[in-house]
Amino acid sequence: MSSSRDDFSIAFRSALLQRGAAQKFSLVFLIIIASIIFFLDVYGFSFMKPIRSIINDGIYRVSLVASSPSRFLPHATSGITNFINIKKENEKLKKELEALKMKELNVEFLSNQNKSLKKIIESEESYLKKENMILSKVLIDKGSPYLKSIIINRGSKSGILKGMPVTDKDYLVGRIVETNYLSSRVLLLNDLNSRIPVTFGDEGVQAILKGIGKNRPILEYLPEEFVLEEGVDVFTSGKDGIFFPGTPIGTTAEGGEVKLFTESSQLSFVKVDISNKGSEDF
């Protein structure tokens, strides 16, 4: 009987140790049950032994359930704290990554700007004369719905004359049509007033490349019943006595158009061929 009481006392104390809002009701209930069991156990009823065993098991189970929140809460709190810390660290890393990207873009921009400024300095201080070419900076793009021309920072002081060819990466972009002492105007190939004799194809077909004020000039005066293929390279023919033959211009496209190798709106620097003395007829 002493052992039974000890078991019951241990179970009772275990229940008392678990405190909380939900355990207060259990405590009162256990006190009543304990009093009844104590009374019956004192008088030695034989049926009390299995009942006491069942009750003890029940108390143990209740104690286990009651203590679950206190055991689970530290783990849950730790998990939530770790999640919050990881989220904060992730946000911090994102900001650092964005900052690094911005720095990388700034470095790339400054590098490109440095290259451009280097060209400008070379062009402004001692303009390049290499293989009879003068490197010139585009000052103004005088584009309009039909008139396409640019202003460059070289003029008669640099030996530039009207009619001289102007190229970009060895591709023809136009010719000089007006010269000043320190500047010149270049008529682009897609200008409404531009006319250039050209040749293309294996058979050396001759035609006139005419500007129409749009991005692409067109081919005129083709042979009768001539079928124009797309993707054929077009070159200057040199028949006008002004442009050297064989300067690449573009490729044939649908509708007799020619897709130019250079984009006039993207020109920053061009080269003027001063070996060609030009013509005052322009």
Tell me how far apart the alpha carbons of residues 270 and 101 are, in angstroms, rounded to a whole number. 33
How high is the pLDDT of residue 125?
45
Among 96, 126, 156, the domain-final residue is 126
For residue range 86-97, what is the model confidence (pLDDT) as tens digits? 888 888 888 888
Do 61 and 189 share a domain, yes or no? no
Which of these three, 80, 111, 126, is where a domain ends?
126
User: Domain check: are 266 and 137 in the same one?
Assistant: yes
Residue-wise pLDDT for 105-126, tens only, equals: 667 667 766 766 665 555 444 4
Comparing C-alpha atoms, which of 251, 276, 264 is closest to residue 168? Answer: 264
| Position 278 in a domain | no
The answer to whether residue 7 is domain-embedded is yes
Residues 4 and 35 in one domain: yes
Q: Would residue 281 count as lying in a domain?
A: no
**What pLDDT, on the 0 to 100 scale, is given for residue 240?**
81
Q: In this structure, are 135 and 263 located in the same domain?
A: yes
Look at residue 43 in the predicted model and tell me its pLDDT: 62
Number of domains, the chain: 2
Domain range for 70: 1-126
In a domain, 280, yes or no: no
Clarify whether residues 104 and 157 are in a common domain.
no
Provide the CATH number for the domain around residue 264. Answer: 2.40.10.340
Low-confidence ranges of the chain (pLDDT < 70): 1-28, 30, 33-34, 37-53, 55-79, 105-106, 108-109, 112-113, 115-131, 142-146, 277-282
Q: What does pTM read for this prediction? A: 0.55
- Strand order of the sheet with strand 248-252? 218-220, 205-210, 195-200, 233-236, 248-252, 258-260
203 shares a domain with 119? no
pLDDT value at position 60? 60
Q: Are residues 179 and 251 in the same domain?
A: yes
